[in-house]
Amino acid sequence: MPSSKTPPWKKPNPRGQRSQPLSPSQKEAAKQRAEENGRPYPNLVDNMWAARLPRDAAATDAKKSK
């Protein structure tokens, strides 16, 4: 997958879509990923990763990635 040189915090917000809060399972997946990488809480990249997961199956996907 080609990566952009612009970091996500410097990019403008995408147009045409309303943002949705993370589901409880997505939040749990982001927290777990942060803990696995030695962070006390999830950062923007963890939350962006979790947002791409299905809303109902995020917790099971995070457990499988261990």
- In the prediction, which pLDDT does 2 show? 67
Is pLDDT of 18 > 90?
no
Q: Quick check: 37 and 66 in contact, CB under 8 A?
A: no
Q: Over range 39-52, report the average pLDDT.
A: 95
Question: Does the predicted TM-score (pTM) go above 0.95?
Answer: no
Number of structural domains found in the chain: 1
Residue 10 located in a structural domain? no
Asked whether residue 54 is domain-assigned, the answer is yes
Looking at the domain assignment, is residue 3 inside a domain?
no
Q: Is 9 among the domain residues?
A: no
- Nearest alpha-carbon partner for 9 in 43, 40, 55, 39: 43
Domain span holding position 30 = 21-64
Domain membership flag for residue 16 = no
Concatenating the DSSP letter of every residue in the chain gives -PPPSS-GGGSPPPSS----PPPHHHHHHHHHHHHHTT-SS--HHHHHHHHTS-TTTHHHHHHHT-
Is 55 domain-assigned? yes
